[in-house]
Amino acid sequence: MRRDQLMHLVDTTMGSDTPSYALLGDGIATLTEEFNAEVETKHWINQKDGTSTVNAYTPSFNVEREDCIDDETRTFMKKIINELPTGSKAETYVVRVEITDDAPVNGKAYEAYRRKFAVSAVSIGGDAGEDVTDAVSFSGVGDQVKGTFVVDTGVFTPDGSTPTPTPTP
């Protein structure tokens, strides 16, 4: 699989009843989701080696984006940086989907995972003569939800649910 087949889409409405997902892509050179496993290790006196248990995950990632294209992602990131939201106003959803084949994505529902994230401003600036670079941080909130995502319509459907159409602007 190539990197362009692993998509992260952010709900730019910040959790409204009618989500609008935008691809984290243009202007972003790297995005690596860290899973941040919480591992508990115990070592009893009768054991040669310890025993580890994974208790939880709190995924996170940072996005650094050149301010080179005026799109929904730029508007979303500028809102975070300019308004510095806190609490529930700083929460939104991200869908991670893997495009696992070379077939056209039109109308196809791909397995996907949606998770709520707290989004915080990291920085704004850059080098002289270059585009401004905005950076925000995403920190996982709660459990992920497995479902399907149709890329061309922007609709995420949790497993066992009926799809809810996303209005077209």
Q: Which two tokens stand for residue 121?
A: 């401003």
Q: How large a percentage of the chain has pLDDT more than 70?
A: 93
What distance, in Å, lies between the first and last C-alpha atoms of the chain? 32
Averaged over 123-137, what is the pLDDT? 95
Q: Which two tokens stand for residue 88?
A: 């529930």
| Domain spans of the chain, in order of start | 3-158
The C-alpha atoms of residue 133 and residue 70 are separated, in whole angstroms, by 13
Residue 138's nearest CA partner among 122, 157, 155, 154 is: 122
Alpha-helix runs per DSSP H in the chain: 72-83
Q: Evaluate if residue 145 carries a pLDDT over 90.
A: yes
Q: Which fold has domain 3-158?
A: Elongation Factor Tu (Ef-tu); domain 3 (2.40.30)
Tell whether pTM > 0.85.
yes
The C-alpha atoms of residue 117 and residue 45 are separated, in whole angstroms, by 41
Exposure string (b/e) for 114-146, b if CB count within 10 Å is 16 or more? bbbbbbbbeeeeeeeeeeebbbbbbbbbeebbe
100-109 pLDDT, tens digit per residue, is 876 667 788 9
* 163 — pLDDT class (breaks 50, 70, 90): low
Q: Evaluate if residue 153 carries a pLDDT over 50.
A: yes
Measured from the Cβ of residue 63, the count of other Cβ atoms closer than 10 Å reads 21
Q: What are phi and psi of 101, to 5 degrees?
A: -145, 175
Q: Which residues pair with 21 in a beta bridge?
A: 11
CA angle 141, 144, 145 (to 5 degrees): 135
28-57 pLDDT, tens digit per residue, is 999 999 999 999 999 999 999 999 999 999
In this structure, the dihedral spanned by the alpha carbons of residues 95, 93, 138 and 75, taken in order and rounded to 10 degrees, is 100
Q: Evaluate if residue 151 carries a pLDDT over 50.
A: yes
User: What is the pLDDT of the chain when averaged over all its residues?
Assistant: 92
Residue 27's nearest CA partner among 130, 153, 155, 154 is: 130
